[in-house]
Homo-oligomer: A and B are copies of this chain.
Amino acid sequence: MHSFKIKSRIWIETENGMFLGNGRVQLLQAIIETGSLSNAAKSLKMSYKKAWNLVDSVNKNAAQEVVKTSTGGKDGGGAIVTEYGKNLIQKFDDLNAETIAFLNEKTNQFEK
């Protein structure tokens, strides 16, 4: 007899499609860590164009700005995640943890 484990993945959509999922949250966290979109993209081995498109999609669909970018300077401009954005990441992480706890409680349904 094997033991079962219920696994899950969650993501947030708007009427325009994907808004926030693991990949986008990971990108936002990399922006917080590196301070720029290009370094965040590099750290995730993602093209700058793809990272830019993801951030643009998050910004356009959120109630408030999530990532603020500044152009110019010797490092080609920085990026920061706003307080609103950090709060969004926290909510997503909390919801993920709550879902995992909810499903862990249900695991015994599959034991026999």
Contacts and interface: CB of A to CB of B under 8 A. Distances in A.
Interface of A: 1-16, 19, 61-63, 88, 91, 95, 98-99, 102-103, 106, 109-110, 112
Rank and list the top 3 A-B pairs by shortest CB-CB distance, nearest first. Answer: A2-B14, A8-B10, A5-B13
Contacts of A63: 1-2, 112
Nearest to A21: B7
7 contacts: A3-B14, A4-B12, A6-B10, A6-B95, A7-B13, A91-B109, A95-B106
A95 B5 CA distance: 13
A5 B9 contact: no
A69 B95 CA distance: 42
